[in-house]
Amino acid sequence: MGKGLDKRIIATKFHNTVAHAIIIVVGKISLINNIRKIVLSGGVFQNSYLTEKVMNSMRAEGLSVYINELVPCNDAGISLGQAYILRERIKAGII
């Protein structure tokens, strides 16, 4: 390998920085708005290292953390959510 930091170290630092940013922002929002239940979703949470790091930290702060289990957390989940909203609007006679 060439000079400089090992790629594994760079990748770990990057993921730790992203996790830290998520933890700080969600922590502040939860305090300001008195939110104790947190849902993590989106393609970024397909990364198990990032997901576990964020979940463990939030749970240590006493937050309830939920993640996708039956539906993918990426664009497929967004599409399903959009279809659900459309269905509910049709049922309510809005559309």
Query: Would you say residue 1 has pLDDT above 90?
Result: no
For residue 73, what pLDDT is reported?
A: 83
Mean residue pLDDT across the chain: 91
Q: What is the pTM of this model?
A: 0.75
**pLDDT tens sequence across 47-83:** 999 999 999 999 999 999 999 888 888 888 888 888 9
Q: How far is residue 67's CA from residue 4's CA, in Å, rounded to a whole number?
A: 37
CA separation for the pair 54, 37 (Å, rounded): 14
**Overall size of the chain counted in residues:** 95
Task: Tell me if 67 sits within 8 A of 51, measured CB to CB.
Answer: yes
